Chain A
Amino acid sequence: MLIERYIYLAIALFCIGIVGVLARRNAIIIFMCIELMLNAVNLLLVAFSKMHHVAGVAKSASAGIDGQLFVFFIMVVAAAEVSVGLAIIVMMYRNTHSVDVNFLNRLKH
């Protein structure tokens, strides 16, 4: 497979995520879009990792391995973020009975 196709796919997923964060008003959906952005990055990292591995395997057997290592760190951090983020959204829901971010305008005045 050509690496360009992976790049196009990852960029497309990433852009869907960005548009979702900017356009949607439901906190849970915004959160899912952020996860989509992170997973687009994961996909691209694995593709690049494979590409660098094929290019450098003659020199060292572990060429390009650090890209896949990074993916595991992103997963761990994303899980930590989910645990904090969902707690914040639940706290919000208990006080306002809504997860709509349009309600969040008390700080403007």
Chain B
Amino acid sequence: MNAIVISAVLGVVMMFCGVFTNSKTAVRTVAIIGLLGLVVSNVLDMGGYHFFEKVNVRGMLSFDIIGLLFNTIAFGSTWIYFLLSGRDMERVGVNLAEYFALIFFVLCGIAIVSSFNSLLMLFLGIEIISIPLYILTGSDKRNLKSNEAALKYFLMGSFSTGIMLMGITLIYGVKGSFDMEVIRQGTLNLTPMIAAGLLLLLFAMSFKVSAVPFHFWTPDAYDGAPTVFTSFMATIVKVAGFIAFIRLFEGCFGDVKGQWQLLAAIITAATLFIGNITAVFQQSVKRMLSYSSIAQAGFMLFALVAMNNMAKEGMIFYAAAYSLATIGIFAVLLKMKDYTFEGFNGLAKRQPVLAATNTVFLLSLAGIPATAGFWAKFYMLSAAVEDGNVLWLVIVGVLCAAISVYYYFRVIQAMYFKDGDPQEIETSRSFKGLLIVIAAVVILLGIFPHWLLNQLYSFFYL
């Protein structure tokens, strides 16, 4: 509850901040300090200090440890994102304070979708996430690509909202309530109307997390949006979609898992396959990263298919590993003028720090051992093995991880083994220092995954 209230208040504060000051440094500082406060208040919530205990949510929200832990990871990654890319937001347009305000509103939506207990709150949370993102996508007003991306994202997003609402309504018609516990009770086999509602919800959520065959808007929206906001959309927002997806299907249809598991597994396999194969043929690193985000979404869908405790812990770990690595890569990409693979030629000679940290992030995304990405994929695959019904999916996952090595290593090869024209890149010392810290965290998570998870768990159950 702390996170929901405070992030909404911070959004309003940022809007007033834009009225009272013109200094970009001041706005950025307020945002960074405010977000740090948000992270701290959420950690206090996990430790048992609830600031808004008297608010009666009437069973529409329920706060469990997985959701709060996810909030902490999402807010923490956003904080790192502010530190790394806050300066680059200034280049998009003049409304810096409003961009920060919109991001805070998105965080409010993320806090809702990680704790909803009623389908009404799911709908509101998803919309609170989506509507600010439409604005952020189109924030580069003179750029036609940005306009086009915003329009496509908006039309597809509201279309999928309509489908989701129809699913919710059909389920309401059968059960007479939006409460997830009521819906779960007595749903032991699927009647035609519940089946139709389940299918519509599955399609709508697949739209939101860009699973194949509902992924076609993703590359265009991510490619056209200003790169600094693509970084936010492709990491934190996407992972929040998965938390909502898993929470919804576990809460409402956990008892009839056997009847939709095969369909979810087929969507997962298609997402892995198409995401990885299409990423191989891209010429621009930004577009490659948006296809790679589809491919990574395929791995996160393993948690939906398996849906046991290991899958949920693995999902949290995956969220951290994927968000950190992708934010790092986008931060480096933002400093480049040329987004093609050739633009990275010879980067290692001119900017050894950027090239080395970027290599760590790419290795982590590819799932090479001794990086966080390896354990993230490992948890997902072992959750599917533990489930036992979908072993063929594990084989598909391993094969696709092997394909992904090709396009991630293309960037590394360009940085280290090709000579290119000198490209002026200005970076500050603190930017490089922060990149090194993130790379160190990625490697530490890869070497001691259990140690860190145990530390976190011992912290919760003090």
**Chain A residues at the B interface, C-beta cutoff of 8 Å:** 3, 7, 14, 17, 21, 27, 30-31, 34, 37-38, 40-41, 44-45, 48, 51-52, 55-56, 63-64, 66-67, 69-70, 73-74, 77, 80-81, 84-85, 88-89, 91-92, 95-96, 101, 104, 106-108
Q: Which residues of A contact B390 (CB under 8 A)?
A: none
Once the chains are docked, how many angstroms separate the CA of A77 from the CA of B130? 11
Tell me which of B168-176, B324-332, B375-383 binds A: B168-176
User: Are A101 and B134 neighbours in the complex by a CB distance under 8 Å?
Assistant: no
A43 to chain B, nearest CB (A): 9
Assess whether A84 is in contact with B154, with CB atoms less than 8 Å apart: yes
A-B contact pairs, 28 of them (CB 8 A): A3-B173, A7-B173, A21-B155, A27-B155, A37-B165, A37-B166, A48-B169, A48-B172, A48-B176, A66-B120, A70-B168, A73-B120, A74-B123, A77-B161, A80-B127, A81-B131, A81-B154, A81-B158, A84-B134, A88-B138, A88-B147, A92-B147, A95-B142, A95-B147, A96-B144, A106-B144, A106-B145, A107-B223
| Bound form: Cα–Cα A52–B172 in Å | 10
In angstroms, how far is the closest chain B Cβ from the Cβ of A71? Answer: 10
- Given A31-B155, A70-B120, A84-B134, A37:B162 Cβ within 8 A: yes
Q: In the bound complex, do residue A77 and residue B172 qualify as a contact, i.e. CB atoms below 8 Å apart?
A: no
- Chain B neighbourhood of A3, CB < 8 A: 173
Considering the chains assembled together, what is the distance between the CA atoms of A84 and B102 in angstroms? 13
Q: CA separation between A56 and B124, bound complex, in Å? A: 27
User: Is the pair A91, B141 in contact by a Cβ cutoff of 8 Å?
Assistant: yes
Interface string of B204-221 (1 = CB under 8 A from A): 000000000000000110
What string of 1s and 0s marks CB contacts (under 8 Å) between B161-189 and chain A? 11101101100110011100000000000
Is B250 an interface residue, CB under 8 A from the partner? no
> Complex formed: what's the CA distance from A48 to B444 in Å?
54
A107 touches B178 (CB 8 A): no
Per the bound structure, the CA–CA distance linking A17 and B123 in Å amounts to 20
Q: Which of B144, B155, B172 contacts A45 (CB 8 A)?
A: B172
Over the window 352-371 of chain B, the binary record of Cβ atoms lying under 8 Å from chain A Cβ atoms (1 yes, 0 no) is 00000000000000000000
Q: Are A107 and B224 in contact (CB under 8 A)?
A: yes
The answer to whether the Cβ of B148 comes within 8 Å of any Cβ in the partner chain is: yes
CB closest chain-A residue, reference B119: A70
Residue ID in chain B nearest A105 by CB atoms: B148
Q: Which 5 A-B pairs have the closest CB atoms?
A: A37-B162, A52-B176, A48-B173, A41-B165, A107-B220
Minimal beta-carbon separation of A89 from chain B (angstroms): 7
Given contacts A21-B155, A41-B166, A85-B154, 16 further A-B contacts (CB under 8 A): A14-B162, A34-B155, A34-B159, A34-B162, A37-B159, A37-B166, A45-B169, A55-B176, A77-B161, A81-B127, A81-B158, A88-B138, A91-B150, A106-B148, A107-B145, A107-B224
Chain A: CB-nearest residue to B150: A88
In the bound complex, CA of A31 to CA of B145 (Å): 20
Distance in angstroms from A106 CB to nearest chain B CB is: 6
Nearest chain A CB to B98's CB is how many angstroms away?
13
- B interface majority secondary structure: helix
- On whether the beta carbons of A104 and B148 are closer than 8 Å, the reply is yes
Give residues in B with beta carbon < 8 Å to A.
120, 123-124, 127, 131, 134-135, 138, 141-142, 144-145, 147-152, 154-155, 158-159, 161-163, 165-166, 168-169, 172-173, 176-178, 219-220, 223-224
Q: From A43, which residue of chain B is reached at the shortest CB distance?
A: B169
Give the contacting residue for B131; candidates A31, A37, A84, A104; CB below 8 A: A84
| Min C-beta distance of A9 to chain B, whole Å | 13
Task: Determine which of A17, A38, A40, A67 lies in contact with B172 in the assembled complex, contact meaning CB atoms within 8 Å.
Answer: A67
**For the complex, what is the distance from the CA of A80 to the CA of B158, rounded to whole Å?**
11
* Contact call B165/A80, Cβ cutoff below 8 A: no
Q: Is A84 in contact with B169, judged by CB distance below 8 angstroms?
A: no
> Are A107 and B172 in touch, CB under 8 angstroms?
no
Q: Which among A41, A44, A89 is the interface contact of B162 at CB below 8 angstroms?
A: A41
Closest to A51 in B: B173
Interchain CB contact under 8 A, B169 and A73: no
Q: How far apart are the CA atoms of A89 and B153 in the complex, in Å?
A: 12
Taking the closest CB of chain B, its distance from the CB of A46, in whole angstroms, is 10
Chain A CB within 10 Å, residue with most, of B120, B166, B169, B220: B169
Chain B nearest CB, measured from A21 CB (Å): 5
The answer to whether B124 and A73 touch across the interface, beta carbons within 8 angstroms, is yes
Name the residue on B nearest A38 (C-beta): B162
Minimum CB distance partner of B121 in chain A: A73
Residue pair A77, B127 in contact (C-beta under 8 Å): yes
**How many whole Å from B406's CB to the nearest CB in chain A?**
22
The answer to whether A77 and B149 touch (CB under 8 A), given A44-B173, A64-B176, is: no
CB contacts (< 8 Å) of A45 on chain B: these are: 169, 172
Task: Report B349 CB to chain A, min CB distance, Å.
Answer: 31
Q: Smallest CB–CB gap between B145 and chain A, Å?
A: 6
Set of chain A residues within 8 Å of B123, measured between Cβ atoms? 70, 73-74, 77
Cβ-closest chain B residue relative to A82: B158
